[in-house]
């Protein structure tokens, strides 16, 4: 079965509501300054020095990305998001907080992952991805063998992969995919470990909305072995 890696792209919308004037200015002026450059990537190419790198795949409105970057100013954060309105949200957080350790890629995370060296990332985040709940669309889920192979290659030994969702079908699918692997160690001892948000896991508006709707939210942490 083909997955996003063999297909060569992720699926998702590019545009939602129309941008306001200030939002358009951020896209026109700030985004070019923060955009991931072309060509091979590493910490020096992205941030001008050798520092730990963390990557978020599909950062939504950017709350989690900005929150993590604010907690660790000495690390470099790469945010990938194909949805323009999500990119605007991240730009607003970065601008308001004066963050200088974030770069952004408006497009598929696979493109950035392909250009990073192996064993170069400290942490990879995949939070509330599109669940594609219909069985015929399962190949579109990022949580599939090809993309997880790539994450495994790009994470340093001991690096962390974090995955979160409020969709039960995606939970079952993810547990099947990750349970078959021997290159990740699931950091769990009891059920409450993946039902309770870790203290350093920044809550997003999407997560709050899911809880208001009565959805359970699951938090998974895996270490690269």
Q: Which positions are annotated as active-site residues?
A: 130
> How many whole angstroms separate alpha carbon 164 and alpha carbon 206?
11
Residue 21: Cβ-neighbour burial (10 angstroms; 0-12, 13-18, 19+): exposed
Asked if 90 contacts 157 with a C-beta cutoff of 8 angstroms, the reply is no
Would you state the torsion angle of the CA atoms of residues 116, 61, 67, 157, taken in this order, to the nearest 10 degrees?
Answer: -30
Report the number of secondary-structure helices (H) and strands (E) in the chain: 10, 7
Tell me the C-alpha distance between 74 and 41, whole Å: 18
Q: What are phi and psi of 186, to 5 degrees?
A: -70, 125
């Amino acid at each position: 079965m083909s997955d996003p890696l063999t297909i060569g792209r992720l699926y998702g919308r590019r545009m939602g509501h129309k941008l306001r004037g200030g939002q358009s200015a951020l896209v026109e002026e700030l985004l070019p300054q923060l955009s991931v450059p072309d060509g091979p990537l590493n910490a020096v190419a992205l941030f001008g020095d050798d520092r730990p790198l963390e990557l978020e795949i599909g950062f939504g409105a950017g709350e989690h990305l900005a929150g993590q970057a604010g907690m660790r100013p000495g690390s470099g954060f790469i945010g990938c998001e194909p949805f323009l309105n999500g990119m605007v949200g991240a730009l607003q957080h970065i601008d308001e907080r004066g963050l200088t350790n974030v770069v952004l890629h408006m497009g598929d995370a696979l493109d950035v992952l392909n250009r990073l060296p192996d064993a170069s990332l400290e942490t990879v985040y995949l939070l509330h991805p599109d669940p594609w709940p219909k069985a015929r669309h399962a190949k579109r889920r990022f949580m599939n063998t090809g993309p997880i192979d790539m994450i495994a290659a790009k994470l340093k030994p001991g690096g962390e992969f974090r995955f979160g969702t409020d969709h039960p079908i995606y939970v079952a699918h993810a547990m099947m995919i990750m349970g078959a692997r021997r290159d990740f160690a699931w950091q769990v001892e009891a059920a409450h470990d993946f039902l309770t948000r870790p203290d350093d896991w920044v809550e997003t508006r999407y997560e709050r909305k899911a809880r208001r709707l009565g959805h359970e939210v699951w938090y998974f942490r895996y270490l690269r072995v």
